[in-house]
């Protein structure tokens, strides 16, 4: 019976996040792949029982993603108001 | 074991009735934002007391009464300020 | 081989729990936030049902009864007693209020899952079977093929009188 | 041990499928399944009260982030194609 250790899955998540973030072209897809990379990193940290590091990085990663989202929306609105988008 | 939970629920309910909280929310009950006794005051009281019940030191009757009073006061005065109701069309 | 049967029973129980409570609390009726509406329209464009699409979008955008079931079984497994489920209900309520949702579905799901796990320990199904079972249940709704699962959810919602409200 | 195998298999499958898919709104349910799996593995690896608190905080913050990502995809589509 085949057994899969969990860190292999976390490594695959991190590779998917990194290569997917390189290959995508739109900014929103890059940030979604950044979320996948953060998932892999947090699960790898928590699988080796550094729970305080996992808790702090789960706060900081996702709050950072929300702040990047607000900045992205503001940037696109300013570009549209100047007429540079099309 | 279960008596302290019942005491916390009764304490929260009595102080909620004194503070004039409604018993049930408005009639399309699954999407009303009204704060009432059965939701979320009782849920808050049971959840807060479960944290204290895990540490075996503070699981007595007086803690249950204080938790009930605290949850009723919290849901009456502070819940709208801590977690405000969203505007129309606002995100998280 | 006994564990596989236990995981299967846990998956079936948690699937029934979260689907029934989510439909009963009106998730297929209307999208709560704008992102859920976009996900529902996207699933409908790919050949699915609109009510099932709103269901999937609401599960993605706020912790509903699926998150309540998962976190209640996690709390029961870690604390070793039903207190973990009650604490999970408290956390799910706070998370629901952060995500702009009234929070009825999450807390009801967490409390009913706590009762269900407490009853299931007497027939030999442990909480870790429920954790893996909830993951399998979420996989069948969100991960396999979206048009089929959304059509199934739409059929169940029409049977339980929770149709899409059009305005 | 079999629980860990099942969770790792589901996460690998969802990661590869998220890598292949091109529609950005179709990726969101797959990301949700990955969040479920990570929240499950944190508790299964650390069966203690701190572990379950970490799992709850992770899941709620990940859901808030997914909410923000879905909102932003909708908003960008409105900005690019005109709000109609």
With CB atoms and an 8 Å threshold, state whether C107 touches B86.
no
Nearest to D10 among C94, C129, C135 (CB): C135
pLDDT on residue A56: 92
**Domain range spanning residue A77?**
6-82
Query: Are D15 and A72 inside 8 Å of each other by CB?
Result: no
Tens of pLDDT, residues D6-49 = 999 999 999 999 899 888 888 889 999 999 999 999 999 999 98
Residues 6 or more apart whose CB falls under 8 angstroms from that of C110 comprise C65, C68, C69, C71, C72, C85, C88, C89, C92
Average pLDDT over residues D54-76: 89
Residue A83 has pLDDT above 70, yes or no: yes
Q: How far apart (Å, rounded) are the C-alpha atoms in residues A5 and A8? A: 6
How far is the CA of C75 from the CAs of A54, C113, D4, in angstroms? 18, 11, 18
Peptide bond into A2 cis (omega under 30): no
CA D26 to chain centre: 12
- Could you tell me how many residues make up chain C? 167
Pick from A61, C4, C48: nearest CA to D38: A61
Largest alpha-carbon pair distance within chain C? Answer: 52
> What is the structure's pLDDT at D38?
92
Residues on chain D touching C136 (C-beta within 8 angstroms): 6, 10
Nearest to D70 among C61, C88, C128 (CB): C61
CA distance C59 to C36: 8
What 3-state class would DSSP assign to A16? helix
* Residue bearing the bigger pLDDT, B88 or D68: D68
Distance of residue B63 Cα from the nearest chain D Cα, in angstroms: 21
Range of the domain at C149: 3-22+35-159
Interchain CB contacts (distance < 8 Å): B and C: 57
Q: Do chains C and A touch (3 or more CB pairs under 8 A)?
A: no
Distance from C-alpha of B37 to C-alpha of A52, rounded to nearest angstrom:
36
pLDDT of residue A52: 92
When divided into structural domains, chain D yields a total of 1
Chain D CB contacts of A47 under 8 Å are 41, 45
B82 backbone φψ class: left, alpha, beta (φ>0; ψ -120 to 50): alpha
Percent of chain C with pLDDT over 90: 21
Mean of pLDDT over chain A: 88
Residues of D in contact with A36 (CB under 8 A): 15, 18, 31, 34
Residue D15 has its nearest CB partner, among A16, A62, A65, at: A16
Query: Mean pLDDT, to the nearest integer, of D59-64?
Result: 90
Q: Do B92 and D49 touch (CB under 8 A)?
A: no
* pLDDT at residue number C1: 60
* Domain residue limits at D30: 2-82
Residue A18 in this model has a pLDDT that exceeds 90: yes
Chain B residues close to D67, C-beta within 8 Å = 91-92
* Per-residue tens of pLDDT for chain B, all 92 residues: 678 889 888 988 999 888 888 888 777 777 777 888 888 888 889 888 888 888 777 778 888 899 889 888 988 888 888 877 776 555 44
Q: Is A58 on the interface with D (CB under 8 A)?
A: yes
**Number of domains comprising chain A:** 1
Q: Is A25 on the interface with D (CB under 8 A)?
A: no
Structure tokens at D56: 């709850």
C-beta atoms of C39 and D17 within 8 A: no
In a domain, A1, yes or no: no
Report CB contact under 8 Å: B91, D71. Answer: yes
What per-residue confidence (pLDDT) applies to B92?
Answer: 44
Render the burial of D60-84: b for 16+ CB within 10 Å, e for the rest: bbbbbbbbbbbbbbbbbeeeeeeee
Phi and psi at residue C131, to the nearest 5°: -60, -50
Q: What is the 3-state secondary structure (H, E, C) of chain C?
A: CHHHHHHHHHHHHHHHHHHHHHHHCCCCCCCCCHHHHHHHHHHHHCCCCHHHHHHHHHHHHCCCHHHHHHHHHHHHHHHCCCHHHHHHHHHHHHHHHHCCCCCHHHHHHHHHHHHHHHHHHHHCCCHHHHHHHHHHHHHHHHCCCHHHHHHHHHHHHHHCCCCCCCC
**Chain segment C73-125, per-residue pLDDT in tens:** 999 999 888 888 999 999 999 888 888 788 888 888 899 999 999 998 898 88
What is the rounded average pLDDT of the residues A7-26? 90
Q: Choose from C34, C72, C98, C100 for mutation: most chain B CBs within 10 A.
A: C100
pLDDT band at C160 (very low <50, low <70, confident <90, very high): confident
Contacts of B27 in chain C (CB under 8 A): none
Judge whether residue D84 has pLDDT over 60: no
Please report whether residue A52 resides in a domain.
yes
How many distinct structural domains can be found in chain C?
A: 1
Sign of CA dihedral A63, A65, A68, A74: negative
Distance (Å, whole) CA A64 – CA A76:
18
Whole-Å CA distances, B21 to B47, C47, C61, D61:
19, 47, 30, 31
Q: A15 lies in a domain?
A: yes
| Residue reference for tokens 């797959």 | D30
Bridge partner residues of B36 (DSSP): B40
Q: How many CB pairs under 8 A join B and D?
A: 8
Question: Which residues is B40 bridged to in the sheet?
Answer: B36
The pTM is what?
0.92
- 3-state SS record for C99-119: CCCCCHHHHHHHHHHHHHHHH
pLDDT over threshold 80, residue C56: yes
Answer yes or no: is pLDDT of A11 > 70: yes
CA distances from C74 to A79, B70, C128 (A): 46, 27, 8
Averaged pLDDT for residues C41-60 = 89
Max Cα-Cα span within chain D: 52
């Amino acid at each position: 019976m085949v057994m899969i250790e969990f860190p292999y899955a976390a490594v695959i998540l991190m590779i998917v996040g990194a290569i997917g973030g390189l290959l995508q072209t739109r900014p929103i897809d890059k940030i979604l792949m950044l979320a996948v990379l953060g998932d892999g990193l947090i699960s790898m940290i928590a699988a080796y029982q550094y729970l305080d590091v996992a808790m702090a990085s789960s706060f900081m990663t996702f709050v950072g993603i929300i702040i990047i989202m607000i900045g992205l929306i503001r940037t696109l609105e300013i570009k549209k108001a100047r007429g540079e988008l099309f | 074991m279960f008596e302290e939970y019942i005491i916390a629920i009764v304490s929260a309910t009595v102080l909620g009735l004194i503070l004039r909280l409604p018993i049930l929310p408005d009639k399309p009950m699954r999407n009303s934002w009204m704060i009432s006794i059965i939701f979320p005051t009782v849920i808050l009281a049971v959840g807060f007391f479960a944290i204290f019940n895990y540490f075996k030191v503070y699981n007595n009757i007086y803690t249950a009464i204080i938790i009930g009073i605290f949850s009723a006061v919290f849901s009456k005065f502070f819940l709208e300020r801590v977690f405000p109701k969203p505007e129309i069309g606002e995100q998280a | 081989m006994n564990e596989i049967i236990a995981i299967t029973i846990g998956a079936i129980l948690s699937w029934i729990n979260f689907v029934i409570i989510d439909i009963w609390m009106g998730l297929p009726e209307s999208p709560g936030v704008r992102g859920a509406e976009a996900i529902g329209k996207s699933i409908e464009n790919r050949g699915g049902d609109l009510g099932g699409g709103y269901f999937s979008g609401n599960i993605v955008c706020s912790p509903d009864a699926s998150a309540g079931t998962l976190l209640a079984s996690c709390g029961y497994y870690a604390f070793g007693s039903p207190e973990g489920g009650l604490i999970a209900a408290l956390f799910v309520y706070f998370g629901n209020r952060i995500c702009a949702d009234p929070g009825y579905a999450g807390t009801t799901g967490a409390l009913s899952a706590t009762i269900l796990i407490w009853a299931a320990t007497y027939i030999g199904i442990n909480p870790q079977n429920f954790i893996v079972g909830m993951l399998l249940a979420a996989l069948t709704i969100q991960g396999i093929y979206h048009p089929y699962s959304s059509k199934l959810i739409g059929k169940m919602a029409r049977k339980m009188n929770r149709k899409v409200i059009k305005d | 041990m079999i629980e860990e195998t099942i969770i790792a298999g589901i996460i690998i499958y969802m990661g590869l499928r998220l890598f292949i898919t091109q529609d950005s709104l179709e990726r969101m349910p797959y990301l949700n399944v990955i969040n479920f799996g990570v929240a499950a593995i944190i508790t299964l690896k650390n069966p203690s009260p701190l572990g379950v608190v970490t799992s709850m905080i992770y899941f709620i913050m990940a859901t808030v982030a997914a909410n923000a990502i879905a909102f932003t995809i909708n908003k960008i589509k409105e900005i690019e194609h005109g709000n109609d």
